[in-house]
């Protein structure tokens, strides 16, 4: 048996290519949209991608299953569980609980494991030349290492009111099915630490059924379903705004993108024309470079592992945009955008000083200046971290406005007072600072040290 885990750090998303080396057949599970990765793996290992499947209709990334099927001619196997409202709306082979997919000498048994979503399925893999016992289970967003999939996304991201309680009860029952699997079976899920599909995902990529039964919080409640569901639904992270669009695009027929596109570097005249028309400008440089000089109106979303998530929070899918980036970063940026279906990139610029627009500097303050401003009537301190972070601990007197929803809550920010933005360690604060400046807030300061520095130094500063 051939096995390879393909992990996208930018979305903490895992996909899999599993093959039978005797027959050369292979299956891809939960493919990302830039499919050249799987084509290269298959070619390097003398495999043909003959089967493609998914564990559920994903919310956090745009699956590349259909692109991969279009290029390879492989059959597409997708869940037929969950009822009428949870069916894929394009040609595929439907799967039900107990069905078996045969890939050469390998078999994958379908387990219906609803909870995260009604149609969620897992795949129990048996490598028959080696053993007649199952060896792996691919759980999608059902069971993670140390956590389980959240059932509230349909309600929070897609507006399906009342589904989270139903999903939590379904999850409780599905876990019983998982617990019946042999302890030695390896667990491979669709996400790792950093994903918004759970609240406590582990940093390692794989586990076993037995280990999860011992260590995963979800298996510690016995028959107390209410205590389980109460904990499962509490303190889940904010559901990124783009999740609703992913749910839609992963379900319906849509245009396919089978290659990684190459975007043009704009000339000065091209940029000025677009800039003058109000096209959004996303500066992907690190926050320090941005602070030292930026084009007015640009939004600083750094090209790091959270880039695509914040792009999905802050841009819609109808508007074009330009990015500031070095040419050698554009392939990486393009792939990250592809993976969430954000295809309206007009072009990029790299030399902001040569665009004919006077640059501005960000107003950064250190902990001493921040402390001197606290408590003054003409100062508003705004904590832009997540709700659970703010609830756990925050600076006295700080208002809370989460950066992902800041644009919808500008009325909570004063234009009369000096506003001081902070987050945990500075990345989200620079996004929020640039958003406020773009929206006409002139008196804005960024305490980039954030709660991390405050927790370390506030006691010494105030002689506590």
DSSP 60: S
Residue ranges in 197-276 assigned as alpha helix (H): 209-215, 225-233, 243-251, 268-276
DSSP 239: P
Judge whether residue 308 has pLDDT over 70.
Answer: yes
Q: Which pLDDT belongs to residue 202?
A: 81
Has domain 268-354 been given CATH number 3.40.250.10? yes
Q: Which of 61-65, 111-115, 452-456 has the lowest mean pLDDT?
A: 452-456
Has domain 2-251 been given CATH number 3.60.15.10? yes
Mean pLDDT of 243-250: 94
Query: For the segment 59-85, what is each residue's pLDDT rounded down to a tens digit?
Result: 999 999 999 999 999 999 999 999 999
Six-digit token pair at 23? 């027959």
- Alpha carbon distance 271, 281 (integer Å): 10
Burial group, residue 91, by CB count within 10 angstroms (0-12, 13-18, 19+): exposed
CATH superfamily of 364-461: Rhodanese-like domain (3.40.250.10)
Q: Which of 49-58, 64-73, 193-202 has the lowest mean pLDDT?
A: 193-202
Q: Tell me whether domains 268-354 and 364-461 share a fold.
A: yes
pTM of the predicted protein model? 0.94
Judge whether residue 464 has pLDDT over 50.
Answer: no
Instruction: Band the pLDDT of 107: cuts 50, 70, 90.
Output: very high
Domain boundaries, the chain: 2-251, 268-354, 364-461
Instruction: Band the pLDDT of 198: cuts 50, 70, 90.
Output: confident
Judge whether residue 463 has pLDDT over 80.
Answer: no
Mean pLDDT of 300-312: 97
Q: Which pLDDT belongs to residue 154?
A: 73
Q: Which of 6-15, 237-246, 282-291 has the lowest mean pLDDT?
A: 237-246
Query: For the segment 3-39, what is each residue's pLDDT rounded down to a tens digit?
Result: 999 999 999 999 999 999 999 999 999 999 999 999 9
């Amino acid at each position: 048996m051939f096995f390879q885990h393909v992990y996208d750090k930018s979305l903490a998303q895992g996909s899999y290519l599993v093959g039978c080396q005797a027959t050369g057949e292979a299956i891809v599970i939960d493919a990302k949209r830039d499919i050249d990765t799987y084509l290269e793996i298959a070619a390097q290992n003398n495999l043909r991608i003959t089967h493609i499947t998914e564990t559920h209709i994903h919310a956090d990334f745009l699956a590349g299953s259909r692109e991969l099927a279009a290029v390879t001619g492989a059959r597409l196997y997708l869940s037929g569980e969950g009822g009428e409202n949870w069916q894929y709306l394009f040609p595929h082979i439907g799967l039900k609980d107990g069905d078996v997919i045969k890939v050469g000498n390998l078999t994958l048994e379908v387990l219906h494991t609803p909870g995260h979503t009604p149609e969620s399925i897992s795949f129990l893999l048996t490598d028959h030349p080696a053993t007649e016992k199952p060896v792996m289970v691919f759980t999608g967003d059902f069971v993670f290492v140390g956590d389980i999939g959240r059932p509230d996304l349909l309600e929070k991201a897609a507006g399906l009111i009342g589904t989270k309680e139903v999903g939590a009860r379904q999850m409780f029952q599905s876990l019983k099915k998982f617990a019946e699997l042999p302890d030695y079976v390896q667990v491979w899920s669709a996400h790792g630490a950093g994903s918004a599909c759970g609240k406590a995902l582990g940093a390692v990529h794989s586990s076993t059924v037995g280990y999860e039964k011992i260590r995963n919080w979800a298996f510690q409640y016995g028959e107390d379903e209410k205590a389980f569901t109460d904990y499962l639904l509490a303190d889940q992270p904010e559901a990124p705004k783009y999740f609703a669009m992913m749910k839609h695009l992963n379900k319906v027929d849509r245009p396919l993108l089978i290659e990684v596109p190459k975007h043009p570097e704009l000339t000065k005249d091209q940029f000025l024309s677009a800039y003058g028309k109000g096209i959004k400008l996303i500066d992907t440089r690190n926050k320090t470079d941005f602070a030292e000089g930026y084009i007015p109106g640009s939004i600083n979303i750094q090209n790091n592992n959270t880039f695509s998530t914040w792009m999905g929070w802050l841009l819609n899918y109808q508007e074009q945009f330009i990015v500031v980036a070095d040419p050698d970063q554009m392939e990486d940026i393009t792939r990250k955008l592809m993976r969430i279906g954000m295809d309206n990139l007009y072009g990029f610029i790299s030399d902001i000083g040569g665009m004919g627009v006077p640059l501005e500097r960000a107003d950064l303050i250190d902990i001493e200046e921040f402390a001197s401003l606290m408590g003054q009537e003409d100062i508003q301190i705004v904590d832009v971290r997540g709700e659970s972070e703010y609830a756990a601990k925050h600076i006295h007197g700080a208002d809370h406005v989460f950066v992902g929803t800041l644009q919808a809550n500008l009325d909570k920010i004063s234009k009369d007072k000096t506003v001081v933005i902070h987050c945990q360690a500075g990345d989200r604060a620079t996004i929020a600072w640039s958003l406020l400046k773009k929206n006409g807030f002139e008196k804005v300061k960024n305490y980039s040290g954030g709660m991390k520095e405050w927790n370390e130094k506030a006691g010494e500063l105030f002689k506590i």
